[in-house]
């Protein structure tokens, strides 16, 4: 297994609001970067299950009424992107959708 990385990109210049929201939602430490160009980035200190990360993104998007883009690198090989707007997933991309099922699609 390789390295994994997960972060949130929240469309708001209010990094304090993002930090407060994250504090309500997670029990571990996260790093909230200073907003740049209207976006605030949150880095996970430790990995969570991807379903938990998606739940956090949904809640941040809903509570702050904004767009949240999640970006994940899994085992150095797989990229996943999810776009949330107002608590609803609007877009998703998975570079290897069958990875967790153990079944590889033949094309």
Strand-by-strand arrangement of the 30-32 sheet: 30-32, 40-44, 5-10, 67-74, 78-85, 88-94
Note the pTM of the prediction, 2 decimals. Answer: 0.83
E-only strand ranges, the chain = 5-10, 30-32, 40-44, 67-74, 78-85, 88-94
For the chain, list residues with pLDDT below 70: 1, 45-48, 100, 102-107
Which pLDDT value is given to residue 106? 54
Which pLDDT value is given to residue 104? 54
- pLDDT per residue as tens digits for the range 23-35: 999 888 899 999 9
């Amino acid at each position: 297994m390789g390295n994994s990385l997960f972060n949130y990109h929240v469309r708001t210049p209010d990094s304090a609001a993002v930090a407060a929201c994250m504090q309500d939602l997670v029990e571990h430490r996260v790093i909230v970067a200073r907003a740049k160009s209207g976006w605030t980035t949150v880095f996970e200190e430790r990995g969570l299950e991807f379903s938990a990360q998606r739940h956090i993104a949904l809640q941040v998007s809903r509570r702050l009424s904004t767009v949240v883009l999640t970006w994940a690198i899994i085992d150095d090989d797989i990229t996943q992107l999810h776009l949330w707007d107002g608590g609803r997933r609007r877009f998703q991309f998975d570079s290897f959708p069958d990875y967790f099922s153990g079944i590889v699609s033949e094309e």
